[in-house]
């Protein structure tokens, strides 16, 4: 009997090899093509044939001697014949050379595969006979531990990252317009290196004027753009500019008193960080500031002579410039227009309004705020508000020393050096050494005080820069401190810094406190943004390398395939389901494998509730939430599957203790619609596509005698990250 049978065997010597069988037929040809179409045969039957840019081979005759023993034979097709676009192959067999009694095989589909780092990589037939790579990848995949677990993640009501990213995303267009003015401002600052007191004062005024000028220009430009542009964002920004830029400058005095120049630089264009710094500073200072009595001043100079001039360079201008356009959308998003109107040009009201908005991101804080919010907008009420916030503050800082800030004095952190790290100049301290934090006390004009303090205290607080949670505190009692000299007594020992996490941004707050004549605590403080690092430190996950790589092999990548729903309905003639699906990807640093998380379902509607019997057409709408958990060990195995070098143990250790985990907090949403008849079943699957990305880490090169890291060496590695999720809906066939 004539036959046409074709099965893929593998690749050999630049040929694709198939197992062919023509039965009793002695002639055959194979056909390659782009499409598979149905042809009608007779009245009701159809057959599938290859079509579209079809390439038919010559007519071949089987080896009759061998064929008489066995009708199957190997069919070799040169690789170059399977060009891009060719998707199908089919075998035709004939009884004679005149194409008599043709028989066609089933069509085999050829799967083109793209590799991660190249253009089109040629044709690879993704069948199971590619033994070598499959065996290797299969074994690697088998080593990944797989768990099923409860879905124990959720997004906070307003996702901070997406929210702030959206806000900061609005910055470049506005800052670009301000760049020339900002450039001239900073240029002027740089020229004034060794400035005397008068120059300082004059420069400070100049800065304030310049800042005002820039802010007003920004306002005008934005308004002009609003008129010209129809985009929603600019319209919204325009409406928000009902608040005068000068109002924001009302915050400037607090910032100058409480932040080092390096801290201002670390804040950069992050409105969230700026706000938190303002809030934290105000908690300490706002309602309790006082002026110092007359104290003789000294002209003695510091060995750290650059500190004052460095401060004048940074000031708060750049941060405020950046914060202005970013704070406006905060106001626009979080407050209603009437309230914005009501704020007017009062910094206190503005502070409270922004404070309310940002606090909404933290459920605990907003509840607390609601409880203590006096609900009126007078200047005095801000004091009540802040005192209430201080109660919250004190919940975890009840034993901290409280003091009244002296407005006339400055605490200057000395000898600070920065290193370019995570795209900014930052202050880094080494963990495996003693850290010294020298400072001086000067008047607003940079003059030293000729005064000896018999008893005083240095209070060192280290707080998480994002949450302001206290992670370290230390007090150092001092006797007979001469304020005309540098104070070198503040330090953190190697043992003390052991418990502080590496590679996380912290706010270091140094306070110098003593008793006034009336017996009250008075003092000065300064904040610094710092990182603690060890030998190797995580920097960032950078740019993508090549295309995404689908984990679409049901055998090899089986552990990454996730059936998140299956079901069907038999009591109605037809059924329809609509699922609003959220699929999350998370990374667990405490476990070593991967986990498929359960699917949580929340029904939105079901028309069975509306009638007493099963409806003819059952309609269900529900929300599904499911997800997948990775680990750095699993990422390492994914790297091996993708023929990349795995990360070594030291790097894994560093990554696990870094904030790299945040880059793996991902989510995808999709609305899936499926329908069927009574008895049909459907499933919803997911599988990921991974991308290779550059992993930037830094290696400590040198540390100075104060424990500051003064140079680091950047290093690059490769890491795999999930980038795309496929949602696949399937249905049973009758």
Residues numbered 604 to 663 that lie near another protein (CB under 8 A) are 623, 625, 662-663
φ and ψ at residue 717, rounded to 5 degrees: -130, -175
User: Among 603, 607, 542, 604, which Cα is nearest to 571's?
Assistant: 607
Q: For another protein, give the closer residue by CB, 34 or 489.
A: 34
Among 77, 295, 608, 668, which residue sits at the site for another protein (rule: CB under 8 A)?
668
DSSP class of 99: -
Among 126, 199, 384, 475, which residue sits at the site for another protein (rule: CB under 8 A)?
126
175 and 321 Cβ atoms separated by less than 8 Å:
yes
Site for another protein contains 264 (CB under 8 A): no
306 and 155 Cβ atoms separated by less than 8 Å:
no
How far apart are the C-alpha atoms of 435 and 728, rounded to whole Å?
55
Segment interacting with another protein, rule: CB under 8 A, options 204-212, 374-382, 522-530, 581-589: 581-589
Q: For another protein, give the closer residue by CB, 540 or 726.
A: 726
Q: Are strands 439-443 and 409-413 parallel, antiparallel or unpaired?
A: antiparallel
Site for another protein contains 589 (CB under 8 A): no
Site for another protein contains 305 (CB under 8 A): no
How far apart are the C-alpha atoms of 541 and 693, rounded to whole Å?
7
24 three-class SS:
coil
Site for another protein contains 148 (CB under 8 A): no
Q: For another protein, give the closer residue by CB, 165 or 209.
A: 165
Count of residues of this chain found to bind another protein when the rule CB under 8 A is applied: 63
Site track for another protein across 36-75, x = CB under 8 A: x-x-------------------------------------
Site for another protein contains 220 (CB under 8 A): no
Residue 508: exposure state from Cβ atoms within 10 A (0-12, 13-18, ≥19): buried
User: Among 522, 509, 409, which Cα is nearest to 455's?
Assistant: 522
How far apart are the C-alpha atoms of 638 and 655, rounded to whole Å?
16
Q: For another protein, give the closer residue by CB, 126 or 640.
A: 126
Site for another protein contains 568 (CB under 8 A): no
How far apart are the C-alpha atoms of 578 and 600, rounded to whole Å?
15
Q: For another protein, give the closer residue by CB, 263 or 725.
A: 725
Residue 164, C-beta contacts closer than 8 angstroms, at least 6 positions apart:
270, 271, 272
Question: Taking the CA of residue 642 as centre, how many other CA atoms within 13 Å lie in the half-sphere pointing to its CB?
Answer: 30
Site track for another protein across 4-43, x = CB under 8 A: --------------------------------x-x-----
418 and 710 Cβ atoms separated by less than 8 Å:
no
Residue linked to tokens 């093509």: 33
Q: For the CB of residue 188, give the shortest distance to another protein in the complex, in Å.
A: 39
Residue linked to tokens 């310049």: 210
| CA–centroid distance for 29 within its chain | 55
Site track for another protein across 670-709, x = CB under 8 A: x-x-x------xxx-x-x-x--------------------
**Greatest extent of the chain over all pairs of C-alpha atoms, in Å:** 118
Among 10, 23, 102, 112, which residue sits at the site for another protein (rule: CB under 8 A)?
112
How far apart are the C-alpha atoms of 278 and 327, rounded to whole Å?
13
Site for another protein contains 119 (CB under 8 A): no
Site for another protein contains 118 (CB under 8 A): no
- Residue 502 burial (CB count, 10 A): 18
Q: For the CB of residue 487, give the shortest distance to another protein in the complex, in Å.
A: 40
Residue 587, C-beta contacts closer than 8 angstroms, at least 6 positions apart:
629, 630, 631, 632, 635, 661, 664, 665
Q: For another protein, give the closer residue by CB, 56 or 604.
A: 604
Here the tokens at position 559 are 């552990």
Site for another protein contains 151 (CB under 8 A): yes
User: Among 363, 364, 374, which Cα is nearest to 395's?
Assistant: 364
Q: For another protein, give the closer residue by CB, 79 or 128.
A: 128
Site track for another protein across 545-564, x = CB under 8 A: -----x-xxxxx--------
Q: For the CB of residue 156, give the shortest distance to another protein in the complex, in Å.
A: 6
Site for another protein contains 162 (CB under 8 A): yes
**Is the alpha carbon torsion for 299, 304, 305, 311 positive or negative?**
negative
Site track for another protein across 499-538, x = CB under 8 A: ----------------------------------------
Among 586, 634, 642, 692, which residue sits at the site for another protein (rule: CB under 8 A)?
586
Segment interacting with another protein, rule: CB under 8 A, options 161-169, 188-196, 212-220, 280-288: 161-169
Among 11, 57, 115, 159, which residue sits at the site for another protein (rule: CB under 8 A)?
159
Site track for another protein across 709-728, x = CB under 8 A: -------------xxxxxxx
501 three-class SS:
coil
Q: For the CB of residue 161, give the shortest distance to another protein in the complex, in Å.
A: 5
Site for another protein contains 544 (CB under 8 A): no
Site for another protein contains 543 (CB under 8 A): no
Site for another protein contains 667 (CB under 8 A): yes
Site for another protein contains 334 (CB under 8 A): no
DSSP class of 129: T
305: left (phi over 0), alpha (psi -120 to 50) or beta: alpha
Site for another protein contains 468 (CB under 8 A): no
- Judged by the rule CB under 8 A, the positions of this chain that interact with another protein are 36, 38, 109, 111-113, 126-128, 150-156, 159-162, 165, 550, 552-556, 583-586, 600, 602, 623, 625, 662-663, 665-670, 672, 674, 681-683, 685, 687, 689, 722-733
């Amino acid at each position: 009997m004539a036959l046409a049978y074709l099965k893929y065997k593998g690749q050999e010597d630049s040929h694709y090899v198939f197992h062919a069988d023509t039965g009793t037929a002695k002639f055959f040809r194979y056909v390659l093509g782009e499409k598979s179409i149905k042809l009608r045969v007779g009245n009701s039957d159809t057959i599938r044939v290859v079509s579209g840019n079809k390439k038919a081979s010559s007519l071949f005759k089987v080896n009759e001697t061998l064929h008489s023993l066995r009708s199957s034979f190997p069919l070799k097709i040169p690789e170059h014949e399977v060009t891009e676009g060719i998707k199908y192959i089919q075998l035709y067999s004939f009884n004679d050379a005149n194409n008599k009694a043709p028989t066609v095989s089933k069509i085999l589909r050829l799967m083109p595969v793209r590799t991660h780092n190249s253009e089109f990589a040629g044709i690879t037939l993704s069948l199971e006979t590619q033994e070598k790579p499959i065996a290797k990848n299969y074994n690697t995949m088998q080593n990944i531990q797989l768990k099923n677990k409860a879905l124990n993640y959720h997004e906070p009501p307003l996702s901070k990252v997406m929210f702030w990213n959206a806000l900061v995303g609005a910055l470049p267009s506005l800052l670009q317009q301000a760049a020339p003015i900002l450039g001239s401002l900073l240029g002027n600052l740089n020229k004034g290196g060794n400035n005397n007191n008068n120059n300082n004062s004059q420069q400070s005024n100049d800065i304030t004027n310049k800042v005002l000028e820039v802010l007003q220009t920004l306002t005008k430009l934005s308004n002009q753009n609003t008129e010209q542009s129809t985009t929603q964002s600019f319209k919204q920004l325009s409406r928000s500019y009902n608040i005068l830029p000068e109002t924001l400058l009302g915050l400037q005095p607090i910032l100058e008193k409480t932040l080092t120049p390096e801290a201002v630089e670390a804040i950069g264009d992050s409105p969230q960080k700026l706000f938190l710094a303002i809030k934290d500073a105000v908690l300490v200072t706002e309602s309790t500031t006082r002026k110092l009595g007359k104290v003789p001043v000294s002209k003695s100079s510091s060995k750290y002579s650059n500190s004052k001039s460095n401060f004048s360079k940074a000031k708060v201008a750049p941060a405020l410039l950046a914060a202005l356009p970013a704070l406006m959308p905060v106001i626009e998003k979080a407050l209603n227009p009437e309230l914005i109107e009501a704020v007017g040009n009062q910094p206190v009201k503005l502070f409270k309004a922004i404070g309310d908005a940002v606090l909404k991101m933290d459920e605990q804080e907003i509840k607390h705020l609601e409880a203590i919010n006096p609900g009126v907008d007078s200047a005095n009420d801000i004091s009540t508000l802040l005192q209430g916030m201080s109660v919250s503050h004190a919940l975890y800082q009840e034993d901290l020393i409280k003091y009244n800030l002296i407005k006339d004095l400055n605490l200057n952190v000395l000898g600070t050096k920065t290193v370019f790290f995570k795209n900014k100049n930052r202050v880094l301290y080494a963990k495996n050494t003693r850290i010294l934090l020298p400072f001086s006390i000067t008047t607003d004009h940079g003059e030293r005080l000729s005064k000896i303090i018999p008893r005083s205290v240095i209070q060192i607080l280290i707080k998480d820069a994002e949450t302001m949670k206290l992670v370290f505190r230390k007090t150092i009692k001092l006797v007979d401190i001469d304020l005309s000299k540098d104070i070198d007594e503040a330090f953190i020992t190697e043992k003390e810094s052991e418990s502080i996490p590496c590679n996380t941004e912290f706010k270091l707050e140094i306070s110098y406190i003593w008793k006034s004549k009336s017996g009250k605590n008075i003092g000065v403080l300064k904040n610094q943004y710092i990182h603690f690092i060890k030998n190797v430190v995580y920097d960032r996950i950078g740019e993508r390398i090549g295309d995404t790589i689908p984990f679409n092999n049901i055998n090899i990548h089986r552990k990454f395939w996730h059936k998140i729903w299956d079901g069907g309905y038999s009591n109605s003639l037809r059924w329809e389901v609509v699922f609003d699906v959220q699929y999350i990807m998370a990374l667990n640093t405490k476990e070593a494998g991967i986990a498929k998380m359960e699917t949580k379902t929340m029904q939105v509607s079901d028309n069975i509730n509306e009638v007493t019997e099963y409806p003819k057409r059952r309609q269900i709408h529900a929300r599904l939430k499911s997800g997948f958990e990775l680990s750095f060990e699993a990422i390492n195995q994914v790297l091996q599957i993708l023929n990349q070098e795995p990360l070594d143990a030291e790097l894994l250790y560093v990554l696990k203790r870094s904030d790299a985990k945040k880059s793996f907090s991902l989510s995808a949403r999709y609305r899936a619609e499926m329908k069927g008849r009574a008895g049909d079943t459907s499933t919803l699957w997911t599988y990921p596509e991974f991308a290779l990305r550059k992993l930037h880490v830094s290696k400590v090169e040198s540390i100075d005698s104060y424990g500051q890291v003064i140079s680091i060496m950047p290093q690059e590695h490769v890491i795999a990250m999930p980038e795309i999720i496929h949602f696949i809906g399937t249905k049973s066939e009758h």
